[in-house]
Amino acid sequence: MKEAGIICTASSHPTTGWVVPFTVVEEKPYGQRGRFIAWTREKNDKDDCEADVPLGHISRYLDVVYDETATLFDLKASFFQMALPVNRRASFRCRTESGELVEFTRLPMGYKCSPEILNTITRVLAGDPALVLPQYAAPTQNYKYTFGLITSEEVVHTKRWKFGESKF
């Protein structure tokens, strides 16, 4: 997990929260797969925030991405793509089997505010006018990238997604 950049040796910041690490085994068509979970029980109990993400069933959003696989992958992978600021990592610490104190560098999937944080990030990136002034919104153009290089000119123009609806 250290090599993958999910955890790192704890910084000098005082510990403000602990996670309970464990692994579950998922059945996949190609065999079993272990998934690491960081349960933030203590932090979830202590924090006053409650996630306010009025998301409906995933089927409402599938026509937007046109592919169920992409949607399911993004929902699972997005937590590990969200980097935690260094000064917040002390809230998500645990000890390794060898006793080393480590902290998460990525947003844990089990933290009750994680869905709202990811929803806000997505809305900002999509240019939701409730959160972003038009002059600061991300461009509405998609480019095809291969190995970090632009391999073609502009591929497609997209329209802004109106949140609460599943249509472009």
Please state the domain extents for the chain. Answer: 7-138
Give pLDDT tens digits for 31-80.
887 777 777 777 777 776 666 666 565 555 555 555 444 444 455 556 56
Following DSSP, what letter does each residue of 1-53 receive, concatenated? -TTTTSEEE--SSPP--B-EEEEEEEEETTEEEEEEEEE-HHHHHH-------
Return the pLDDT at 103.
Answer: 92
CA distance 131 to 140: 16
Return the pLDDT at 119.
Answer: 77
The chain-wide mean pLDDT, for the chain, equals 70
How many percent of the chain have pLDDT more than 90?
A: 8
In our burial notation (b when 16+ CB lie closer than 10 A, e otherwise), range 1-15 reads: eeeeeebeebeeeee
Return the pLDDT at 101.
Answer: 94
Return the pLDDT at 124.
Answer: 78
Question: pTM for the complete prediction?
Answer: 0.56
Examine the pLDDT at 20 and tell me if it is beyond 60.
yes
How many percent of the chain have pLDDT more than 70?
A: 60
**If pLDDT is split at 50, 70 and 90, which confidence band does 97 have?**
confident
